[in-house]
Amino acid sequence: MIFVGEWLPAQTNPERFVAFLKDKNNNPYSISNPSAFLSERALARRARYSIAIDAYDLPVTPDYITQVRGTGAEVINTSRWLNTITFATSDPIVLDVVRALSFVDSVSAVFPKKSASIQPGSGVQATPGIPPYSIQRIDGAVPVAPLKSGNVLDYGLAANQTTMVNLQELHNAGYTGDGMLIAVLDAGFANANQISVFDTLWLTNRIMGWRDISEPGNDIFASTMHSHGTSVLSLMGGNMPGQLVGTAPHATYFLIRTEEGPTESLVEEYNWAAGAELADSIGADVINSSLGYTTFDNPLFNHSYSDLDGKTTPVSIAAGRAASRGMLVVNSAGNEGGGSWQYVGAPADGPQVFTIGAVDFSGQYANFSSTGPTFDGRIKPDITAQGSGAAVAFATGDIGFGSGTSFSSPLIAGAMACLWQTSPSHSPGEVKDAVRFTASKADNPDNYYGYGIPDFLQAQLSIGLGETTVENPSLRLAPNPFVSFPSVLISGAPDQPFYISVFDMNGSCVFRSGKVVLFGNGVFSVREFNQLPSGIYMVLVEGSGTRQFVKAVKL
């Protein structure tokens, strides 16, 4: 673990503030002409999933940015989803002038002075948003699974973490992430443009671009930058056969630095929003964020457990809007398991965020992995993957082992890109459901493993991704609402087996049928509803190349 060991003078940099804007008036951009602010690839993603352009997509009014800059403040970034301008100043007069601007609703400090100097206490991580353990390097021996004969890729030390989730079967079928764009939000990518594990990415132009959101203009590859993002990227895009091959070696990547080092401050949540908006605008399919926020150097800005409802913290709001734009947002659960906090942080608490916990080499819960539930009672994490003793590359170019949900998250982000590659017409929600409901604990999810360790081959087969499937039958539930139990009616059902599952609103599976074979217009009575309390449930019918949900209301 890396901890801050010296005093950090707060006055070395101007303080950061966020201006919350009243509106987007006098905006030269229009939702009727989205090509002016969204790339062709981004618009294609919206069209593919029938996602409308709305006011959240409009950029912050440019004249508002100009006026804030005209006060003498340094504009750092903006957020169209939160309608904010992040700026820096050490001049109280400038701050008052910004507050007085007619379009500014309010201004909040997000990188404030705690006192004359900031002195993080014991246990404060050196890199904001990266919880303890996530950058732990393991020098001792870690067992390596034997490589299954016949695999196309020679994973080297990454064999166990890859085969644990049965991803090699998708790789063997040619699904290695080609054509998928993954945005990586992180703290820095030291030497990622130099070390051999990424040679293939650079030689084949699979690094689309990079940007520093937190300190615009910086070189995110400088050796003085944090190397956390370098290791994270290696779990997806690394390609050194026989040593380390990542989960999506042929995907394309855009690297985005959103962290403020070496302190922990609320401004990073607004940086994250700006980074996710960049990912949206370039047309990213997947976001990997091995970052999380709970407490800060200034305790006035700490989150409480009650904030973790997926709709309160700035970063979780932004993550939800990222997902609503058709991106698959994958985030580490955090490394507070067993500690005083214990729960997942933000944005891992988001209902649309695919939150990844950690297990060890043998698939057992890693005791540092943050747990659920969220404050509003939802199961978290969503799934787990190897994050203890995971094979990674370091900024030195060495291949070794490290631990943390920071590493299980990119492992899954790359795998999700490969799964989605098999049939990009499926929505992000369908892809996530396919993984959840074929994972090892799908029938009894909990707040340690979530839905368990995924099986990517079964996920592919469960919804027929990449396969020729029958035309979807028509599904309905009757009666609905009901008092005792309803029947599932499937018209045009092929004479092939279906499975029927019932989930409560916490995401727990409360009933799963055995094989149900329905001929023609089939009817299946779900009598198990007799044993369930009144409430709202989701009924899932899957099989024969279809997955359909219907809401059920028991009175």
The residue assigned the tokens 């070189």 is 219
Helix (H) or strand (E) holding 336: none
**Residue 445 in 3-state DSSP?**
coil
Query: Which residues make beta-bridge pairs with 180?
Result: none
pLDDT at 263: 81
- Cβ count within 10 A of residue 1: 15
pLDDT at 540: 79
Domain 8-24+60-118 has CATH 3.30.70.80: yes
The residue assigned the tokens 């890396």 is 2
Query: Which residues make beta-bridge pairs with 488?
Result: 477, 524
C-alpha 16: how far from chain center: 26
Cα separation, 204 vs 227, whole angstroms: 23
**Residue 11 in 3-state DSSP?**
helix
**Cβ neighbours of residue 105 closer than 8 Å, sequence gap 6 or more:** 20, 21, 22
Contact (Cβ atoms closer than 8 angstroms) between residue 482 and residue 552: yes
Cα separation, 351 vs 331, whole angstroms: 12
Architecture of domain 474-554: Sandwich (2.60)
Please state which CATH class domain 153-462 belongs to: alpha beta
Residue ranges of the chain with per-residue pLDDT less than 70: 1-13, 112-150, 261, 463-475, 489-497, 505-507, 514-525, 543-547
Cα separation, 443 vs 437, whole angstroms: 8
Cα separation, 198 vs 112, whole angstroms: 38
pLDDT at 522: 56
* Signed CA dihedral, 335, 341, 343, 349: sign only: negative
C-alpha 122: how far from chain center: 29
Q: What one-character DSSP code corresponds to residue 531?
A: G
Task: Note the helical H segments in 1-52.
Answer: 40-48
The pTM score is 0.80
Q: What one-character DSSP code corresponds to residue 4?
A: -
The residue assigned the tokens 């994250």 is 272
Residues of the chain with CATH 3.40.50.200: 153-462
Which tokens in the block code for residue 281?
């605008």
Residues of the chain with CATH 2.60.40.3080: 474-554
**Residue 184 in 3-state DSSP?**
strand
DSSP class per residue in 200-244: HHHHTT-EEEEEESSSTT--TTSTTS-SHHHHHHHHHH-EETTTE
**Residue 141 in 3-state DSSP?**
coil
Residues of the chain with CATH 3.30.70.80: 8-24+60-118
